[in-house]
Amino acid sequence: MPAAAVRAGELLHLTRDASVQFIWPITVRVIRVLTDWHTYDGWVWVDAYQLNAAGDAVRRRTLFLRSAGVRRSAPRPEPVAGRQPGEADRPGPATRRRNARPDPAAVRAPAATR
């Protein structure tokens, strides 16, 4: 049974089964599959973002993989509707530091007196 094709957007866990270059396992999100790069049967070139433990992209890489050796990770949950990604991480007015500098655009210069 042939291995499933690698597709853009997939989250992959790569180990030595995917290629000897992965001494330590890494997780990547595939940007695109480089179909115009000719290779051996069962192998594929991909552009991908290497992810850290939090799921943030830390490096862009071009990788040579054995399709049968990749492990597909479970997709991350979709963001809650009506909320931007990372919105909960931004401090609101009640949680801002007291000594934080004010936004220059929000502060108006006093009117010149004559």
The model's pTM: 0.59
| Range(s) of the domain holding residue 60 | 11-72
Q: 14 has which bridge partners?
A: 26
Q: Is 31 within the bounds of a domain? A: yes
Domain assignment present for residue 43? The answer is yes
5 domain residue, yes or no = no
Question: Which distant-in-sequence residues (6+ apart) come within 8 Å of 13 by Cβ?
Answer: 25, 26, 27, 70, 71, 72, 73
Residue 83, in any domain of the structure: no
Instruction: Establish if 106 belongs to a structural domain.
Output: no
Backbone conformation region of residue 9, classed left if phi is above 0, alpha if psi is from -120 to 50, else beta? left
In a domain, 109, yes or no: no
Domain count, the chain: 1
In this predicted model, what pLDDT tens digit does every residue of 30-73 receive, in sequence order? 999 998 888 888 899 999 999 998 889 999 999 999 888 888 87
